[in-house]
Amino acid sequence: MSFSLCTSWVWMLLFLGCTLGQSKQTRSAGSDVRNCTTVPPYLPSTVTNTAERLQALRQHMRVYNVSAYIVPATDAHMSEYIAEQDARLAWMTGFTGSAGTGVVTLDKATLWTDSRYWIQAERQMDCSWELQKTVWIHSIGEWILQEVPAGKNIGLDPFLFSIDNWESYCQALQNSGRNLIPIETNLVDLVWDAQKPPPPTHSIYALSDEFTGNTWQNKVSDIRTQMEKHSKSPTAVLLSGLEETAWLFNLRGDDIPYNPVFYSYALLTKSNISLFLNQSRLTQDALQSLTAGCPGPLCVHLEDYNQVKAHLENYVQGDIQVWIGTEYTTYGLFRVIPEEKRLQESYSPVMTTKAVKNTKEQGLLKAAHVRDAVAVIQYLHWLEKNVPLGSVNEFSGAHYVNQLRQKMDHWRGPSFETISASGLNAALAHYSPSNVSSRKLSVDEMYLTDSGGQYLDGTTDITRTVHWGAPTPFQKEAYTRVLMGNIELSRLVFPSGTSGRMIEAFARRALWEVGLNYGHGTGHGIGNFLSVHEWPVGFQSNNVPLTTGMFTSIEPGYYQDGEFGIRIEDVALVVETQTEHKVGDKPFLTFEVVSLVPYDRNLIDVRLLSAEQIQYLNSYYETIRHRVGPELQRRQLQEEYEWMRSNTEPFSQGVLVAASLGLLAVTTLMSEFLSNLQA
Amino acid sequence: MSFSLCTSWVWMLLFLGCTLGQSKQTRSAGSDVRNCTTVPPYLPSTVTNTAERLQALRQHMRVYNVSAYIVPATDAHMSEYIAEQDARLAWMTGFTGSAGTGVVTLDKATLWTDSRYWIQAERQMDCSWELQKTVWIHSIGEWILQEVPAGKNIGLDPFLFSIDNWESYCQALQNSGRNLIPIETNLVDLVWDAQKPPPPTHSIYALSDEFTGNTWQNKVSDIRTQMEKHSKSPTAVLLSGLEETAWLFNLRGDDIPYNPVFYSYALLTKSNISLFLNQSRLTQDALQSLTAGCPGPLCVHLEDYNQVKAHLENYVQGDIQVWIGTEYTTYGLFRVIPEEKRLQESYSPVMTTKAVKNTKEQGLLKAAHVRDAVAVIQYLHWLEKNVPLGSVNEFSGAHYVNQLRQKMDHWRGPSFETISASGLNAALAHYSPSNVSSRKLSVDEMYLTDSGGQYLDGTTDITRTVHWGAPTPFQKEAYTRVLMGNIELSRLVFPSGTSGRMIEAFARRALWEVGLNYGHGTGHGIGNFLSVHEWPVGFQSNNVPLTTGMFTSIEPGYYQDGEFGIRIEDVALVVETQTEHKVGDKPFLTFEVVSLVPYDRNLIDVRLLSAEQIQYLNSYYETIRHRVGPELQRRQLQEEYEWMRSNTEPFSQGVLVAASLGLLAVTTLMSEFLSNLQA
């Protein structure tokens, strides 16, 4: 138990699916691209000189009497992607990766990050910074114990740490004589000061009814009902996650890259709704939508973003009970609430309600995936024609697929930075190409593309890996086994309420069987025009049990360091299924894959597939034909239509038989048959 | 996270493998065999009149100013099986099931227990007691909130609750205004008083070197090394689990039914060893073994069992740090240690070290399983001959298998109460027959036997389900699918460090596929002449990751309420395996099944098995022949040897082909073949 308590956020970072990393063993330690032992040190031209910043930070640390200061990579809402103004870790270190933690003492500075970022960190950090190749808070704690004497203080900004994270640090330092000190003034900001980017000013807008599952008023009523039914009788729900307020009020913004959310908090009581944001940024429509019910229990009171703490301090004076989700609420707000007035659960009721899409939301997400499939099929068809000409590189490819998506209805942007990786670059599971360093796509290499779109009706995320030439037998085997994993999990039948953690190994078994594996998670929830990584759905230990209406990605992979990378990712909806027998009243569930793009025939070794897997594949291909075919034809994409048809040809029964039998068994059968004939 | 924190002990009770229960839905609510609405109430003759006891308990509750008192089913060591003197819940309620919690308020009394005990509880409790059909502490908390007004106290004996359990109750009552009060005087004992059975007096003896994996001195040195290497620098390890002291000091006793342990605690520091027990019960050999190294760091200081708290109170005055396992330490001892002097982990280092058997221990356990297989094969052969004669009932069968074991070398008793269940009785997964109510075994019914032995070299636990007549197609299908689950988990290849929780669904998939499931856990660790359910190995969320040298049972089942029950249980060792490919330096693992008894051919529908499953089965049968065959011959058990041979005949290739193909595919292949011939 203490394990998951200490590390939930780390896991979240480590396993957030498609932007994810290699297993540890694939990168050897001690191969720092920097040489900090020479004078002057050898440094890549890409490093940032952080000497002055560190000096200034240490001055502030002395003022606040702390011997170490912890700088996380997130913002006050535990966002996965953050705005420029919150990129404190990047500014302090030079390292721009999305996950990491920095700790600065009076004479040292160290960054912890996971394997996908080790090389990048060495290329971006000067010799003031050491790199620690792990992300466990436990390890950070051990380093602090080593560097900071007993009796000294360790400082952090309590608004940048979730409750769970704060507790993990407490545990790591427990009984050590070192004190963890929350300092509400952010010391990095004191140094950053005038250079710090200004807060965002884009407008915050209301999502039109056609793109929402319900009115915000109905959503609020539903949450209030849950409050009433709760045995602990909470009087309020505090919302800190940016997706929570965006979803609840049917509002969207552009504050964070790839995520259509806006800086905000909300405090929802039985009779009052307070929404904390920069009110001047609301469009007229949005303002009208929020205040139409004023005065009354469905009137939203708008308060300034910065007032949330003061408002909460005032609210907790009363006879109240505040329901909070510990994964998204910061320690800064948490400690405002007296212990006896807290109702703590891992996730707020908004988070868990949002996770289960209603019928309308399901339809919206599926529709977005059909249009998205058109774009990806166009892209794969275009690659097949252009890669042999030598005219495509990783960067131009990424650009092109985004252009194709842009032409689709309701498109609002990519849902994350497109991964477009050829050959050995794909072994870095998170690799994104840049304008300056981009590998040319070739018929001699495998190519992995992981991309998605934000559409007003839904968010998409899909990975396909392809080879246009002659893959090696090992590449084919690895690809086929990744595909087998994807299929085995997708076609699994399981009881209601099964946790993702209990079934994710079905996506790994075909790899495990021959000694292979992948070092990232198997999937994550996804939103309706919200985050591409939407918690708490997924296959990790801190995800909630799977129920009908949840969407999750399914994305096994395999990464051969220095050679190639494979990932096959689909988004799937949890649906009820009919089983041959029926015990009890709870339905059995399975997945309905809503990403509708064929896999690479050139990389499938059909002999490895079971009859059931082939049957599944043929049925999935039939669905692609049925659902995407008309859409391709409607758009008069005839070549793409033909490409899709030929790539969704069912695998034949003959192949099926050979696959399930193997040569030996066939021979045995034949000779038995022959001897029967002769008899 | 809070989920596992709140419920770990409950899970432990709920999922302790082979004595385990049916899924909820199989028993409908509201069918109480008692009728408490009539005057006088209708009660089975098996109930205990608890009116006086309750009245006396309530008097003590008033004295201690508590409005509710919680009575658990365990002892001060969190033992699964308990001695008579600790059967407080049974004495208070009349209910003798192994798991449950009672709560007595000033006007009500309620028992919580799981589905396997609902009927038994109704048969044993008078109308003073309500039955609540759940075991979640959360539910107990909700009931208390309903029955006990705010401002009132809820009492419990802190020596009967683990730290984790205490915290779960705290959480359940958090911020409710009710106070959880630890009362060190046990209020049930005050009532029980003179009627209470005396403490055990059997001798505590040393295990001879041939049956231990290492000397106790080496074990102690190993634990001390772990203390030194630990980053938190613990100065002592406190041991509360009875298996911990028994294993560490190579001692055994008979204080608890089925478990060769004795009441004790130990406090191990870097330079001192204190063992708390009734010293007069030690045999001369045991005493000699413990004190041979006195004075010195390997001298065991013997102190009275009741002195542990006082000793600990004294010890914690110093500059110390006590390493404790929260699953086995009681809140009573925990609270003696100041917070800053606690090093809390789920399990003590003794618990985790014991879980990984060394080569010698592995050999001992395997040898015990070979002898045990002889007994079970004798039993199955005997049943096959005698059941058709109508001369066997559940009770005589259970008696006979235990007699067979008794003849084996090193036998010391059964490792748990033998489950011997025919027909519908087997649907109650925990069912044990009694002398007075025992069903006759018949060729028309399935029969399930789950039994094990305590041998000086190892503990065994095996379940076989058989049918001597004509099983229904559904019975055959269910049996085969349970077997498929057993095989799929047993033959799984997985990476080092995988948690059992991640892979246990492989034992369920074949059932899930057709809408079936089972409501208990999939397996548990097992000891070397210690507990049959040995933590922390297993497939639950609070078990530790699987590593080479661990033994676990693998025991899927299926229970058709009112009709039949199936369970197939083997004990398996986690071993390294060679894989076709190799990435990284960590080995891949698999299971080596050490229970060596054939499954029932009469119940296997080979057509459902995959080629790989048949191959596995044949290879397992080959191992039985190879390892048990010579032992049967050595004992001149010729009939049993023949029985074993015919029951381990390999399934033929012809069957294999049919199984993997299905008729349609064969037809296809044949016609293709024929048309080729004709061409």
Interface test with A, best of B352, B539, B581, B674 (most A CBs within 10 A): B581
Q: What is the pLDDT of residues A99-112, one digit of tens each?
A: 999 999 999 999 99
User: Does B205-355 match B359-640 in CATH topology?
Assistant: no
Q: Give this complex's ipTM.
A: 0.89
Name chain A contacts of B493, Cβ cutoff 8 Å. Answer: 512-513, 515
pLDDT at position B548: 97
pLDDT band at A653 (very low <50, low <70, confident <90, very high): low
Q: What is the pLDDT of residues A213-244, one digit of tens each?
A: 999 999 999 999 999 999 889 999 999 999 99
pLDDT band at B440 (very low <50, low <70, confident <90, very high): very high
Q: What is the pLDDT of residues B580-621, one digit of tens each?
A: 998 888 899 999 999 999 999 999 999 999 999 999 999 999
Helix/strand/coil for A423: helix
CA A295 to chain centre: 39
Residue whose token pair is 């160290």: A110
pLDDT at position A429: 66
3-state percent breakdown (helix, strand, coil) of chain A, nearest 5: 45, 20, 40
Interface test with B, best of A581, A655, A667 (most B CBs within 10 A): A581
State which amino acid sits at residue A635.
R
Q: What is the pLDDT of residues B444-491, one digit of tens each?
A: 999 999 999 999 999 999 999 999 999 999 999 999 999 999 999 999
**Alpha-carbon dihedral sign for residues A441, A443, A448, A452:** positive
State which amino acid sits at residue A271.
S
State which amino acid sits at residue A301.
H
pLDDT at position A31: 67
Q: What residues contact residue B469 under an 8 Å CB cut-off, 6+ apart?
A: B442, B443, B444, B445
Cβ–Cβ contact B509 with A under 8 A: yes
Average pLDDT over residues A483-510: 97
CATH architecture of A359-640: Alpha-Beta Complex (3.90)
Pairing assessment for the beta strands A236-239 and A322-325 based on DSSP bridges: parallel
Least confident of A160-164, B2-6, B412-416, B505-509: B2-6
State which amino acid sits at residue B103.
V
pLDDT at position A29: 42
> Where would I find the H helices in B115-263?
118-124, 137-147, 163-173, 187-192, 216-229, 242-248
Name chain B contacts of A494, Cβ cutoff 8 Å. Answer: 505, 512
pLDDT band at B31 (very low <50, low <70, confident <90, very high): low
Name chain B contacts of A3, Cβ cutoff 8 Å. Answer: 346
pLDDT at position A16: 33
Q: Hey, where are the domains in chain A?
A: 50-195, 205-355, 359-640
Interfacial B residues in 133-152 facing A (CB < 8 Å): 142, 145
Give the residue, A235 or A4, on which the prediction is more confident: A235
Query: What is B50-195's CATH number?
Result: 3.40.350.10
d(CA A556, CA A566): 8
Pairing assessment for the beta strands A251-252 and A273-276 based on DSSP bridges: unpaired
> Is the pLDDT reported for residue B20 higher than 70?
no
Interface test with B, best of A25, A513, A544, A589 (most B CBs within 10 A): A513
> Is the pLDDT reported for residue B239 higher than 70?
yes
> Is the pLDDT reported for residue A461 higher than 70?
yes
Smallest Cα distance from A258 to chain B, Å: 29
> Is the pLDDT reported for residue A656 higher than 60?
no
Which residue(s) pair with A302 in the sheet? A275
Which residue(s) pair with A301 in the sheet? A274
pLDDT at position B416: 95
Smallest Cα distance from A8 to chain B, Å: 8
Q: What residues contact residue A626 under an 8 Å CB cut-off, 6+ apart?
A: none
Q: What is the pLDDT of residues B126-168, one digit of tens each?
A: 999 999 998 899 999 999 999 999 999 999 999 999 998 999 9
> Is the pLDDT reported for residue B665 higher than 70?
no
Cβ–Cβ contact A504 with B under 8 A: yes
Residue whose token pair is 């001692």: B251
Q: What is the pLDDT of residues A338-392, one digit of tens each?
A: 999 999 999 999 999 999 999 999 999 999 999 999 999 999 999 999 999 999 9
Average pLDDT over residues A667-677: 49
Interfacial A residues in 550-579 facing B (CB < 8 Å): 579
Kindly calculate the radius of gyration of chain A based on its CA atoms and give it in whole angstroms.
Answer: 26
**Average pLDDT score over chain B:** 91
Give me B139's structure tokens: 């539910």
**Alpha-carbon dihedral sign for residues A422, A424, A430, A434:** negative
> Residue A658's closest chain B neighbor by CA?
B669
Instruction: Decide: B437 and B45 in contact? Cβ < 8 Å.
Output: no
Average pLDDT over residues B39-55: 90
Average pLDDT over residues A170-187: 93
> Is the pLDDT reported for residue A673 higher than 80?
no
pLDDT at position B102: 98
pLDDT at position B437: 77
Cβ–Cβ contact B615 with A under 8 A: no
Q: What is the pLDDT of residues B394-429, one digit of tens each?
A: 999 999 999 999 999 999 999 999 999 999 999 876
Kindly calculate the radius of gyration of chain B based on its CA atoms and give it in whole angstroms.
Answer: 26
pLDDT band at B24 (very low <50, low <70, confident <90, very high): very low
Least confident of A34-43, A581-590, B252-261: A34-43
pLDDT at position B53: 96
Q: Smallest Cβ distance to A175: which of B341, B509, B517?
A: B341
Q: Smallest Cβ distance to A505: which of B339, B502, B515?
A: B502
Q: What is the pLDDT of residues A405-457, one digit of tens each?
A: 999 999 999 999 999 999 999 987 667 777 677 899 999 999 999 999 999 99
pLDDT at position A25: 34
Query: What is B205-355's CATH number?
Result: 3.40.350.10
pLDDT band at B657 (very low <50, low <70, confident <90, very high): very low
Give me A556's structure tokens: 């096994």
**Average pLDDT score over chain A:** 91
Torsion angles phi and psi, residue B115, rounded to 5: -55, -30
Average pLDDT over residues B49-66: 97
Smallest Cα distance from B542 to chain A, Å: 7
d(CA A85, CA A199): 6
pLDDT at position A176: 86
pLDDT at position A34: 85
Interface test with A, best of B496, B539, B578, B583 (most A CBs within 10 A): B583
Average pLDDT over residues A71-96: 96
The verdict on a CB contact (< 8 Å) between A2 and B344 is: yes
Name chain B contacts of A474, Cβ cutoff 8 Å. Answer: 581
d(CA B574, CA A85): 51
pLDDT at position B653: 57
Q: What are the distances in angstroms from CA B394 to CA B448, B461, B467?
A: 10, 18, 14
The verdict on a CB contact (< 8 Å) between B515 and A588 is: yes
Q: Which of A568, A517, A525 is nearest to A545 (CA)?
A: A525
> Is the pLDDT reported for residue A668 higher than 70?
no
Which H or E run contains B326?
Answer: none
Smallest Cα distance from A651 to chain B, Å: 14
Instruction: Compute the CA torsion angle B63, B67, B71, B72 (nearest 10 deg).
Output: -130
> Is the pLDDT reported for residue B518 higher than 90?
yes
